[in-house]
Amino acid sequence: MKFFYTGSSQVPNFPEFVEVGFVDGLQIEHYDSNSRRFVPKQDWMNKITEEEPQFWEEQTGRGLGHQQTFKAYIEIMKQRFNQTGGVHIFQRMHSCEWDDETDEVSGFHQYGYDGEDFIVYDLKTETWIAPVQQAVPTKHQWDNDKALLAVFKNYHSTECVDWLKKFVEFGRSSLMRKDLPSVSLLQKTPSSPLTCHATGFYPDRAHLFWKKDEEELHEDVVRGEILPNHDGSFQMSADLDLSGLQDEDWGRYSCVFHLAGGQEVSKRLDKRDIRTNWKTNDGGFPTGAAAGGVVAALLLLTGCIMGLIVCLKKRPQASETSSSSGEDPAGKKMLETSS
């Protein structure tokens, strides 16, 4: 489960503040300063209201609070870095990962400013790391605050994992599904690398590779990252350099998609299956290529930019009920020590 918060200053056509949360790559909730409302992004997330009827109203209240806090954060950062106006972004990112077989727990918690790490929490040593000089005062203050360190430790080891388990149970039918992708062979021009593109698979624990006969290829192959699609599924690609490939060897090559759990999709290299948008000498397109080229371009451009923010759980206080998104336990400390 991952959460991203983004506060921005003078960024055109972008909200001043955004929070989002994800479970296994699926967005589960969203808040921004334009709508000023926390909303679920999966139908099964509404099950939380059976236990906590006011959950989304409480989340909205916290979102409004975070919005004001992040506005102050940016002003603090501008002072730290001796800046005045201009475009600036302050981010908080945190997560917890739970292995349901080994029960092992891990995660991360960090803050960033203008695209660079500002301060990072080390879960193993329970201390803060300051990648830049401007963060050193904050590191010293937070490292010496034992109560604050205890809050972070409890959050990542217990609270975050408890909510992750709850959400996994709510969304079991979606999160536990296994969807195989459609696999296409794409090529921009006859001299370009050949792209094997797989899209529509879930979950994102997958491997895409080229092989010759039964041997996986490592040379002349460039693998792309796994990227999210707008519908919650994923896509990835692997490029094969064809420059040294002999015509008689084409049938010996194939692209293989392997999904966690053992399911596979294999596509043998065949010139007739390549989708492209390059024109022939007579100004036309190769047979079947026109539509395929448009599809190829769209598929290669599909993907989402994840980089926003949500707190999982309110800092426990006397007689209060915790929720998945809450106050930043370090937020007040930063405001106190950074001005």
56 and 95 in a single domain? The answer is: yes
pLDDT at 326 over 80: no
Would you say residue 288 has pLDDT above 70?
Answer: no
Cα–Cα dist 339/330, whole Å: 15
CB contact at 8 A, 255 and 210: yes
Average pLDDT of 269-276? 91
Which pLDDT score is estimated for 321? Answer: 33
In the structure, what pLDDT confidence band is assigned to residue 219 with cuts at 50, 70 and 90? confident
Q: How far is CA 208 from CA 4, 16, 205, 217, 254, in A?
A: 28, 38, 10, 11, 11
- Based on the fold, state whether residues 139 and 275 are members of the same structural domain: no
The answer for residues whose C-beta is within 8 angstroms of residue 133's C-beta and 6 or more apart is none
Do 9 and 129 have their domain in common?
Answer: yes
Q: What is the DSSP string of 21-58?
A: EEETTEEEEEEETTT---EESSGGGGGHHHH-TTHHHH
- Tokens encoding 121: 């929490």
Task: Mark whether 168 and 284 lie in a shared domain.
Answer: no
Query: What does the pLDDT average to over 274-283?
Result: 66
Distance set, CA 150 to CA 143, 157, 210, 273, 300 (Å): 11, 10, 48, 58, 45
Average pLDDT, the chain: 84
Which is nearest to 193 in space by CA: 238, 237, 240, 225?
240
End-to-end alpha carbon distance in the chain: 32
Q: What is the CA radius of gyration of the chain?
A: 24
Q: Which domain holds residue 144?
A: 2-174+306-338
Q: Are residues 275 and 312 in the same domain?
A: no
242 pLDDT exceeds 80?
yes
Task: Report whether 235 contacts 197 (CB < 8 A).
Answer: yes
- Over range 228-248, report the average pLDDT: 89
- One domain for residues 95 and 222: no
Q: Does one domain contain both 158 and 194?
A: no
- CATH number, domain with residue 41: 3.30.500.10
The CATH number of whichever domain residue 288 belongs to comes to 2.60.40.10
pLDDT in tens, 132-172: 999 999 999 999 999 999 999 999 999 999 999 999 999 99
Split into its structural domains, the chain has a count of: 2
- Residue 263 Cα distances to 145, 172, 202, 226, angstroms: 49, 20, 11, 17
pLDDT at 65 over 50: yes
pLDDT at res. 331: 61
The confidence score (pLDDT) of residue 324 equals 61
Full-prediction pTM beyond 0.85? no
Residues 285 and 319 in one domain: no
Mark whether 16 and 156 lie in a shared domain. yes
Does the structure show a pLDDT above 50 at 244? Answer: yes
Q: Which residue has the tokens 């201009």?
A: 86
Residues 48, 116, single domain; the answer is: yes
87-131 pLDDT tens trace: 999 999 999 999 988 999 999 999 999 999 999 999 999 999 999
| Tally of CB atoms within 10 A around 87 | 11
- Asked if pLDDT for residue 40 goes beyond 90, the answer is yes
Contacts with 89 (C-beta within 8 Å, 6 or more apart), sequence order: 6, 7, 8, 9, 11, 112, 113, 114, 115
* One domain, residues 10 and 123: yes
Q: Is the pLDDT of residue 220 over 70?
A: yes
DSSP conformational letter for 223? E
At residue 249 the predicted structure's pLDDT band, cuts being 50, 70 and 90, is confident
Same domain, 157 and 31: yes
Query: Which of the pair, 303 or 111, is modelled with greater confidence?
Result: 111
